[in-house]
Structure 1
Amino acid sequence: MSDRGITPGEGQDHRSTSVPVVEGESALHALSDYLHDDMQACNRAIVERMDSPVPLIPQLAAHLVAAGGKRLRPLLTLAAARLCGYPSDADHQRHVGLAACVEFIHTATLLHDDVVDESQLRRGLASANAVFGNKASVLVGDFLFARSFQLMTADGSLKVMAILSSASATIAEGEVLQMATQNDLSTSVAQYLDVIHGKTAALFAAACRVGAVVADRPDAEEEALGNFGTNLGMAFQLVDDALDYAADQATLGKTVGDDFREGKITLPVLTAFAAGSEEDRTFWRRVIEDNQQTEADLDHAFALIRDTDAIAITLARATEYADAAKAALSIFPPSRLRDILLETASYTVSRAR
């Protein structure tokens, strides 16, 4: 399997015909509804583990909870466990603790990312660093990472710890690689894919794999769920990168054009740069590599992205990954939950259309 996802079988239709399929954003609502009790238990675990005698920690944590979010990553852990037949009773709650662990890893990286990127918005609200400052955000991010490892240890499985700790290291590597490629238009598409695999897809994959581990399923099912998560994560990040040049601020939940202002190398930029005229490339070098931007430059960048079909090309690549994610689930028998996961992969791409 490639670290960057895509496995044989993409393009095939593996949907069950016996169960009605949900469409669009309702896929996430259907996933949340299907896993309602598990997710409620996960939310309780998150709130409980965010508590601390140090007042700033629960204050900042409450700000994060108020900002909402889809909680897709913990939902994937819960869904993977249920898809693998993990029992639904009070004696089988490992998946709940690990879903909370996954959310803590994700939230910790968001706190650190917003400091590094100097972001002012997160999920449509002021980011934690904008409200509480950079120092508090970094330190509470460290606290959440520590909590995640406490949850891994409490689970008691060395295999689970290996999966999640490896994902944590890969996320950090992906963020460092993104920093290293920032403002560098010589970055290859392969290097860009390595970045998004590290910063996003690795945790999607780990979130899914641990669901199979707690259910004590064969390696083939664990690998299939890992492939599903990897490809779903790749599609998710490709769409996020497209939305930074194609969405309005309310839809995106953060400031539109942040990637542009920060000089981040994403597939829309690489596509527009490669397809542009020499004049266009001179523009990109000035605004991205030299970081010399005027107020009018963002609108011009939007125009160049549009004129080179960079968004459509990015979404086509995302669709390939979403199709590969669907194909990975063919190992599992038809079920309502499998259909919802298939449509979740479709929604990942459709939210940009």
Structure 2
Amino acid sequence: MPLALLALAVGAFGIGTTEFVMMGLLPNVADDLDISIPVAGHLVSAYALGVVIGAPLLAAVTAKLPRRRVLIGLMVLFVVGNALSAAAPDYHLLMAARFLSGLPHGAFFGVGAVVATGLVAPERKARSVSLMFLGLTVANIVGVPVATAMGQQLGWRATFLAVSAIGLAAIAALALLVPADHAHGDAAGLRGELRALRSVPVWLALGTTVAGFGALFSAYSYITPMLTDTAGYAESSVTLLLALFGVGATAGNLLGGRLADHSLRGTLFGGLISLAVVLGFFPLLMTAAWSAALGVVLLGMAAFTTGSPLQLMVMEKAAAAPSLASSANQGAFNLANAGGAWIGGLALAAGFGTT
């Protein structure tokens, strides 16, 4: 595989770390800022809403620029947003900084997916996208647990400074490893990208992303209190359990990419059915420590089996103009993130408990 995929994976690693680490730090942030855990959960939604807005907006604004330059610029914005998160003195400014951090997320994965598939043969497109997403899933094995432990020991602000440093490393990798390209698209090309978003099959694909991952995030956004309050784990054990989620997600991502190159529709159907089954049994799995650990692995594997296939499906439905639709799918992922976290927070506030 081309080394440029490694650069994309480094950027994905940083983005995955900052996206998911807030779930592990919710109790710490809530205590430090004197807010409840459900209110702190809205910080997850703020990041996700930044993705939803930033994905199509930044993809459209940068439609005529060289893709390597776009990717580097998006990571610069990522670094700024995370540095501001570390410096935020109160809840409202942290909310704004998290929103800013989310703005480049969708466009990075959207443009990155187009770059990744352009580097390989047609029969390896799904695997190329899964290798970029590998950075996202490995973040759940290494980045999120380490960042969570850092936040618990040094304070949550140190976590966002470390994430900013990862962003700087990604900028260097993109500049060195991604091939230079010419400006892509023109006014007509941008209109073509916008026309692709009016396609019913594209919207059906985006809706599939929202529904599937909305179900995931309604549970995963509150995984820390589930594990501590229901399954009986100590807070210090959450780091390892988040790593287990990452192991499952990485396995599912690689499996989904390989299977989707043979049967895209079959992989999506099987992955979504598996996710529904795991979520259906999740309350039962949370009743004991050993089964909770198993449930976390299965949740990550089932969800991320569908990640790269969903991305590729949207790109195929908008084949003539994939960049904006690909970025919009990342917005759909994070609309699911925001909606799932919000619905989960409502359930907690209503007294239903974490399971």
TM-score (norm 1): 0.31
Q: Which has the higher helix share?
A: 2
Structure number, greater radius of gyration: 1
